[in-house]
């Protein structure tokens, strides 16, 4: 069936309109998403900030996915990601690379990732060295008498590394990827771990991230253990002050980086949102 030149022209115009509309919709959807790549230990914090940010008009969607530090940075520098989350400041060479790529680098410290070690309140042990802590959670030490405590078995409570980000973080930065003790009880929620630690008949020990510890309703029913880098180091209680001065042995700093001259309004707003939230958290102020 032959068509007239007029019909073909009309059909071409319709096709062009449809394609333009599809491109516009796809481009709009892409711009309504903010892509963040970063260190797994800080993903939970950024996800929470993203959820809060997404509730505010115009409701940008924040897509957060874990990546090793170098990969997260490279994706940001190559503009595959809008924002990068790292556990360290950028080096002068990396800053120079960003500049060469046309990125007006902006960065801020938004918080800390640190595990809090809790035990049953009747436990007389007040502190542990990092070596003792690793030995307990890997099962090499099974009795409190081995770490200057009473002659009682140690009941180990863990946030599952397969089901929780804090569990993965602890496995990486404390145990150096050595497996948890075979008899360790794996839990999914921090509040359940605190409750079990407080109500257990034996002398249990567990960990949870500082962010969850701060809002725990049962925190007064457990005892927080101080940590020492080694036998000759002082015992340090976890707090914003000891995270900041670096005296707490397992506090990681979380830095956010973005392009200050980005045309992606959502990325710019989210970076500023996280920066403000981080300032509140670091100062200890209430929202």
The DSSP code sequence of 47-115 is HHHHHHHHTSTT-PEEEEEE--HHHHHHHHHTTSSSEEEESSPPPHHHHHHHHHTT--EEEEEEEEE-E
Hey, what are 207's tokens? 């960990």
Asked if 152 and 178 touch (Cβ cutoff 8 Å), the reply is: no
Tell me yes or no: is domain 32-113+252-283 CATH 3.40.190.10: yes
What is the distance between the alpha carbons of residues 263 and 267, in angstroms, rounded to a whole number?
Answer: 8
- The upper half-sphere exposure of residue 162, i.e. CA atoms within 13 Å in the direction of its Cβ, equals 5
DSSP letters for 158-184 = EE-TTT-HHHHHHHHHTSTTPPPPTTP
% of residues, the chain, pLDDT over 90 = 61
Output the pLDDT for position 147: 98
Kindly state the average pLDDT of the residues 243-271.
92
Output the pLDDT for position 278: 65
Domains 32-113+252-283 and 115-244 share a fold: yes
Give the 3-state secondary structure of residue 121.
Answer: coil
pTM above 0.95, yes or no: no
Kindly state the average pLDDT of the residues 12-26.
42
- DSSP-derived pairing of the beta strands 226-228 and 127-129: parallel
Output the pLDDT for position 22: 39
Domain ranges of the chain: 32-113+252-283, 115-244
Structural fold of domain 115-244: D-Maltodextrin-Binding Protein; domain 2 (3.40.190)
Q: How does the average pLDDT of the chain come out, rounded?
A: 85
Tokens 């042995």 — which residue? Answer: 249
Of 7-11, 125-129, 220-224, 232-236, the range with the lowest mean pLDDT is 7-11
């Amino acid at each position: 069936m032959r068509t007239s030149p007029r019909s073909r022209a009309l059909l071409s115009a319709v096709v062009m309109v449809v394609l333009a509309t599809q491109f516009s919709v796809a481009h709009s959807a892409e711009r309504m998403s903010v892509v963040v790549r970063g260190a797994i230990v800080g993903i939970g914090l950024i996800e929470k900030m993203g959820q809060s940010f997404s509730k505010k008009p115009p409701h940008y969607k924040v897509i957060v996915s874990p990546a090793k530090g170098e990969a997260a940075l490279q994706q940001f520098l190559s503009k595959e990601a809008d924002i990068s989350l790292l556990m360290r400041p950028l080096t002068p060479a990396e800053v120079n690379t960003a500049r060469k790529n046309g990125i007006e680098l902006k960065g801020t410290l938004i918080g800390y990732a640190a595990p809090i070690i809790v035990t049953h309140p009747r436990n007389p042990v007040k502190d542990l060295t990092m070596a003792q802590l690793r030995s307990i959670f890997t099962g090499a030490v099974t009795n409190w008498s081995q770490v200057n405590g009473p002659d009682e078995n140690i009941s180990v409570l863990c946030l599952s590394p397969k089901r929780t980000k804090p569990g993965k973080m602890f496995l990486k930065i404390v145990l150096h990827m050595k497996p948890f003790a075979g008899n360790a009880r794996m839990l999914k929620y921090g509040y359940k771990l605190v409750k079990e630690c407080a109500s257990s008949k034996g002398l249990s020990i567990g960990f949870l991230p500082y962010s969850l510890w701060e809002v725990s309703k049962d925190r007064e029913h457990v005892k927080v253990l101080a940590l020492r880098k080694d036998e000759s180091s002082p015992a340090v209680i976890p707090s914003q002050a000891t995270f900041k001065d670096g005296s707490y042995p397992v506090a990681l700093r979380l830095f956010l980086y973005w392009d200050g001259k980005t045309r992606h309004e959502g990325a710019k707003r989210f970076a500023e949102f996280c920066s403000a939230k981080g300032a509140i958290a670091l100062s200890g102020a209430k929202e």
